[in-house]
Structure 1
């Protein structure tokens, strides 16, 4: 199966100079845990809810003034929509990440695939599949 069949399309993106406060509000309002960071429409980073807590709040940074570029993860592992899900799973394991941005040849974000997407893709029952299908606990 290809990544494009299991990814979440049209991921939430914010520009590099958007603030942590803006990202946190988007995450809350959409019930998501990450935002892809872009510069001139190209992927340049990812910021997670955990990044905001650990790299900003715990360091007493002002979330209304701190740009995403100051705390986002910039060294990313990505996949293409036509890559197979086995490759995505292998990369997640090798890189110890739970999500992979899906990009085109020009590094424009097309989607995001997370460990839960891969767990539900094969249709096999199991605890991760059930957890992944559960609604968010906002």
Structure 2
């Protein structure tokens, strides 16, 4: 099964110039913890609730004056819409992420695939992704968490 058969085409996107207050409100309204950041129909990053906490709140930045570009993660993992669902699951497991941006071959953001979407695919994609996502990181192993 290909990613395009199970992906969610309706995707909420953050603009890099939005304030973190606005993006946090969008996350709350949509009940999600991560948003792809797009500019001119291109994926330029991802912003997570953790990014906001670690890069803004912890540094005492003002939510109404700090923009997404200042706290977002760059170098984002993604897959292509014509990739196999198993390949998307492997990326999610490797990078321990629950939502993966999906690009077309012109490198335009077209969708997001979530762990729940993999659950609707054939095979073990969801189980493999969940197992990788759930693995403790090196920091969690050292600290006894996880």
TM-score, normalised to structure 1, is: 0.80
Instruction: Give the distance between the partners of 1:44 and 1:57, measured in 2 at CA.
Output: 22
Q: Is the 8 A contact 1:2 1:82 kept in 2?
A: yes
Q: 2:11 — aligned with what?
A: 11
Partner of 1:116: 116
Which deviations, in whole Å up to 9, do the C-alpha atoms of 1:13-67 show, x marking residues without a partner?
1221111111111111122222111122211011112221222212211111111
Tell me, what secondary structure is at the counterpart of 1:55?
helix
- Contact kept? 1:42, 1:106, Cα under 8 Å: no
After TM superposition, give the deviation of residue 94 of structure 1 in Å.
2.3
Q: Using the alignment, how far apart are the partners of 2:82 and 2:39 within structure 1?
A: 24
**1:123, CA displacement in angstroms?**
8.3
Structure 1, unmatched stretches of 5+, are 129-138
Q: Which residue does the alignment assign to 2:104?
A: 104
CA contact (8 A) 1:36 1:46 kept: yes
**Correspondence list, 1:46-125, <5 A:** 46-122=46-122
- How many pairs align? 126
**Equivalent residue for 1:39?**
39
8 Å contact 1:85–1:118 — kept in the other structure?
yes
Q: Secondary structure of the equivalent of 2:117?
A: helix
> d(CA) in 1 for partners of 2:95 and 2:35?
19
Pick which of 53-62 and 70-79 moved more.
Answer: 53-62
CA RMSD of aligned residues (A): 2.0
Q: 1:82, CA displacement in angstroms?
A: 1.1
State the alpha-carbon separation in 1 of the partners of residues 30 and 93 from structure 2. Answer: 27
- Aligned-pair CA distance for 1:110: 0.8
For residue 136 of structure 1, what is the aligned residue in structure 2? none
